[in-house]
Chains A and B, each alone.
Chain A
Amino acid sequence: MGLDFSVVPGYFGVLLQGMAWTVAITLGAGILSFFGGIIFAVAALYAPWFIRLPMRLFAWLFMGTPLLLQLFLIYFGLIQIGIDLPAFVAGIIGLGLHFAVYNSELIQSSILAVDKGQYEGARTLGLSRGQTLRQIIIPQAVHAVIPPMGNNMIALLKDSALVSVIGVMELTLAAQQSISRTYRPFEFYIAAAFCYYIINLALEAGLRRLERRIAASR
C-alpha cells in the first residue's frame, strides 16, 4: 500500500476541529498549571505540616510517575468515586495538575531566591506577611521563572496528545478517527504532526514575545 496524501484534505475540517480542541486543552491546562503551581508552591513553603506533608507526597508521586498513568488514575478514579466528568475536563485536570507540580518546584526555589531585603522593605512599610507575599514576593518569583514555565507549557502542548488515550477528542484522536475511515495511518499522523508543529511554532513565538516584553520592563 503506497502513500496517498490526497485523502487528507477531505478531512481538513476534522483535523482543524481537533487542532482547536488541542489549543483549548493546552490553554486550559496551562492556566490551571500556572495558578496551581503558585498555590502548590505557597502551600509547600508556608502551609502547616498537615497540608505540607500530603502535598510533598503528592508532588513526589506526580514527578516520579508517567503522565499517562496519572491520566488513567484521574479519569477512572473520578468515575470510581462517582464523579463523572467529561473526558476533556478530566484531561485538563490531569495535564494541569501534572504540570502544576513541575511549575511549583520552579516557583518554590524562585520564592526562596528572592532577596531578603524585599521582604524587609515591604514589612517595614507595615505590609503584613500575606500582603508582602502577594504583592512583593510572588510577583517577583513568578516573573523570574516565566522562561522555564514557558518550556513547561511547550511540553504540555505535546503531552496533550496523551489525553486521546482517555478519549478526549483532540488532534490525535481526530487523526485516529480519520484513519479508522480511510486506513491511511501514515498520511494522517504526518498531517497531525504537521498541525502540532504549527501550534508549537506559534506557542514558541508567543512565549518569546512575552519574555521580551518582560525583559524590557526590567
Chain B
Amino acid sequence: MSALLVLARKTISKGPNMDIDLILRVYPFFIEAAWVTIELSVLTTILGLTCGALGAAARLSRNVVLRAIGAVYVSVFRGTPALIQLFILYFGGPQIGINLDAFDAGVIGLGVNIGAYMTETMRGAIISVNKGQTEAARTLGMSRWETMRKVVLPQAMRMMIRPLGVNINALIKGTALVAAISVVELTYTAQRYIGSTYKPFEMFLLSGVLYMVIIYIVGHGISWLDRKARIV
C-alpha cells in the first residue's frame, strides 16, 4: 500500500514536470518497437494455436502413448517458467545444435509455452460439448471421427473463443519476456530508455499505452468473433 501511495504522490508531484519533450522525442522508436511486439504476438498466436490443437488432439486420443505425450507436454510447459524455457532454447540450444536468432527463439519458445495453456483450453471446451452430443450422434450411426468433426468441434470452437482470448491476452503481455534475450520490442525499448534517460515513469507510460492499445484492439476483435459465433 505504501508503495502505491508513494507512486500516487509521485504522479501528482511529477505531473506538471513530466518530461513531455522526451516522450515526443523518443516515441517513434516505441512505435517501431510496438510493431515488433505485434509481429511477435501474431506469430506466437499462430504457433500457440497449432500446438494447442495438436496437444488437445493428443490428450483426447485413444492412443495411450499420444495421451501420455500430451499430458507431459502440458505438465512440463505449464509447470516451469516461460522465461526458463526461453533461456533453454536460446542459450542452451546451440549446445544441442539448435541455432536460432533471438526473434525466432522468442516466437518458438513463447508459442510452444502458450500452446500448453491452449491445449487445456481447447480440451476443456471439447470435453464440455462431448458428453451428451456424442451419444446422440453415435446413436445416429456416425463414426467417432465424423461425430468429432461434424458435431463436437463446431460447437466446441464457438465455446473456446473467449477462453482462448484470455490466453492471447496473456500471450501479448508475455512477449515482454523476449526483452531478456535482447529482442528489440516494446519492453526492451522501454528498459533501454529507462537506462539512458532515468525517466522510468515516462517510459512506462509510453510503452504501457501502446501495450494497452494492442490489447484493447485484440480484445474487441475477440469479443466481435465471439458474438458472431454465437449468432450462427
Q: Which residues of A approach B to under 8 Å, CB–CB?
A: 1-3, 36, 39, 54, 58, 60-61, 64-70, 72-74, 76-78, 80-81, 83, 93, 97, 158-162, 164-165, 172, 175, 179, 184-187, 189-190, 192-193, 196-197, 200-201
Contacts between chains A and B (CB distance < 8 A), count: 133
**Tally of contact residues, B, Cβ under 8 A:** 46
Chain A binding site: helix, strand, loop or mixed by DSSP?
helix
A68 touches B179 (CB 8 A): yes
Between B85, B93, B194, the greatest number of chain A beta carbons within 10 A of the residue's beta carbon is seen for B194
- CA of A175 to CA of B87, assembled, Å: 11
Residue pair B87, A185 in contact (C-beta under 8 Å): yes
A192 to B198: give the CA distance in the assembly, Å.
33
The reply to whether A65 and B173 contact each other, CB–CB distance below 8 Å, is yes
Q: A68 with B176: in contact, given A186-B96, A193-B85, A197-B79 (CB under 8 Å)? A: yes
A165 CB contacts on chain B under 8 angstroms? 179-180
B231 within 8 A of partner (CB)? no
Report yes or no: A186 in contact with B76, Cβ–Cβ below 8 A.
no
Contact of B6 among A39, A83, A200 (CB under 8 A): A83
CA distance A184 to B94 in the complex (A): 11
In the complex, which residue of chain B has the Cβ closest to the Cβ of A190? B88
User: In the complex, are the beta carbons of A172 and B83 less than 8 A apart?
Assistant: yes
Name B13's closest neighbour in chain A (CB-CB).
A81
Residue of A nearest to B94 (CB): A1
Q: Which of B56-64, B123-131, B136-144, B206-214 contacts A (4 or more CB under 8 A)?
A: B206-214
Q: Chain A residues near B190 (CB, 8 Å)?
A: 69, 72
Tell me which of A67, A76, A158, A192 contacts B200 (CB under 8 A): A76
Contact: A189 with B96, CB < 8 Å? no
Q: Residues of B contacting A73 with CB < 8 Å? A: 200-201, 204
- In the bound complex, residues from chain A placing their C-beta under 8 Å from that of B79 are 196-197, 200-201
* Extra inter-chain contacts (8) besides given A159-B81, A190-B88, CB under 8 Å: A64-B212, A68-B180, A72-B191, A76-B200, A80-B199, A93-B3, A158-B81, A161-B83
- Name which of A67, A179, A193 has the most chain B CB atoms within 10 A of its CB: A193
